[in-house]
Amino acid sequence: MPRHYDLCARVQNGFRARLRRIAVPDTKMNLAIANVLYKEGFIASVNRGDHIQPDTDYVSTTPDNIATRRLWLELKYNNDEPVLKKMSAVSKPSKKIVMKVEELQSLAAGNRAQFIKGLQPGEIAILTTNYGVLELRDALEKGAGGEVLCRAI
Amino acid sequence: MARQRTGAARIPATARVPGIDSPTKLHDLSAIHPLLDHYPRQADQEGNMNLATEKLWPSNPPLDDMLKTQGEDDIDESTLPHGLTKDDLKRFLKRTLVVKRTSNMTTAGKIPSMYALVVVGNGQGIAGYGEGKDDEVARAVRKATNRAMRNLTAFDRYDDRTIYHDIDHKFHATKIQFRSRPPGFGNRCNHYIHEICSCIGILDISAKVWGSRNPMNVIKATFEAFTQKQKLPEDIARGRGKRVVDVQHTYYGASE
């Protein structure tokens, strides 16, 4: 069961290698984080597919094909530069980071909270809340705190 | 007996120059006079002699090669960026930040020379740095200043007072962390960075130099960081396909 930092590494490496699209393990958490990245505009699309290529038509996940299931993320580049420069995990198995709404507000303002640096202009943080996996500002709108999974800039 | 003057008899002033009846009648100064104008001139096509004709003995100004050994490089106004003129350059801030005595070891021995690093800026976002070497400090500083004038670049500033976001930059063994700060904070940083910020026009910044604090490298690292590493919100938004809204100025009101 790959953790969220596995996705961070794959996405960051894919952008650095200037790949067009990358295949990551097809899990609910990966899908949720990929959806947030898509909504924020870091990736162009999220597709389910094979280990070779994305599906053109719908293919249901069965015990026969489960091993080949992947999520394909189409990466974006602008002005000869990757749109996502860095994606790193915040909460790690060695140190879990769970934040309250006040701490999230201070992160959003650019100030430090719990030894985590504040967000810079253009930076996002993805956290899992009781309302699901959300970006930091969406979580603040809902008034929800939670475990801060990763940050992307 | 009255002493008599030897030599020529006294000649009245009017008779000394032929063609002048009285001292009050002035000679036509635009026409050539055989006695008053010594240098012979050539007549023009109509046969009139006038002073506006080519000189028989033209002047020989010193050659450019001779002038250049002084160390003064003339700046061509057309090469200046951002529509600057030489008058603008005169009003630029000039800060001599590094002056060192270097020596070149040759078979003949140690040949010393003076090195200078000068930072130049208008305090409104345009600045540059230049290095110069010469036997004398003043000449080295002048060379460095001229090179700095030629290497001017425009720097992006958020709100014309600070950088857009925190920057971490490494140049050789010098690592610098810059932090964007709110208005009124001031430039709380290394003294070299402080001078560069005053030349650029950055009013609020916090910076920490880690590793080597070699002055030349701190200055070069600062310039590199400000030109390479700043990302403007408009460019970020364009890459992600988002709209940028300036909340600070329109919603919360403009900051001074």
Tell me B78's DSSP state: G
> What's the CATH code of the domain at B216?
3.30.230.10
Instruction: Print burial letters for A72-106: b (CB count within 10 Å at least 16), e (below 16).
Output: bbebbeeeeebbbeebebbbeeeeebebeeebbeb
User: Which among B164, B165, B239 is the nearest to A83, CB-wise?
Assistant: B239
User: Which among A41, A120, A121 is the nearest to B240, CB-wise?
Assistant: A41
- On whether both B138 and B186 belong to a single domain, the answer is no
Structure confidence at residue B51 as a pLDDT band (50, 70, 90): low
pLDDT at B148 > cutoff 50: yes
Across the interface, whether the CB atoms of B238 and A83 are under 8 A apart is answered no
pLDDT at B87 > cutoff 90: no
- On whether both B147 and B190 belong to a single domain, the answer is no
Minimum Cα–Cα distance from A79: chain B residue: B239
Across the interface, whether the CB atoms of A78 and B164 are under 8 A apart is answered no
Q: How far apart are CA B9 and CA B2, in angstroms?
A: 15
Across the interface, whether the CB atoms of B239 and A41 are under 8 A apart is answered yes
Domain end residue (candidates: B154, B180, B213): B154
pLDDT at B69 > cutoff 60: no
Contacts of residue B66, Cβ cutoff 8 Å, sequence gap at least 6: none
Higher-confidence residue of A43 and B44: namely: A43
pLDDT at B71 > cutoff 50: no
User: Which among A41, A76, A122 is the nearest to B231, CB-wise?
Assistant: A122
pTM check: above 0.90: no
What is the tally of structural domains in chain B? 2
Q: Is B143 in contact with B120 (CB distance < 8 Å)?
A: no
Q: What is the mean pLDDT of chain A?
A: 97
What pLDDT, on a 0 to 100 scale, did the predictor assign at position B13?
A: 56
Owning domain of residue B185: 167-233
B44 located within any domain: no
What pLDDT, on a 0 to 100 scale, did the predictor assign at position B227?
A: 95
ipTM: 0.90
B238 located within any domain: no
Q: What is the mean pLDDT of chain B?
A: 85
> What's the CATH code of the domain at B147?
3.30.160.20
| A15 part of contact set with chain B, CB < 8 Å | no
pLDDT at B146 > cutoff 60: yes
Q: At CB < 8 Å, which residues of chain B contact A?
A: 164-166, 231, 233, 235-236, 238-242
B199 located within any domain: yes
Averaged over A74-85, what is the pLDDT? 96
Q: How far apart are CA B21 and CA B27, in angstroms?
A: 10
pLDDT at A153 > cutoff 60: yes
Q: How do B93-106 and B109-121 pair as beta strands?
A: antiparallel
Domain end residue (candidates: B127, B154, B181): B154
What pLDDT, on a 0 to 100 scale, did the predictor assign at position A60?
A: 96
B210 located within any domain: yes
B125 located within any domain: yes
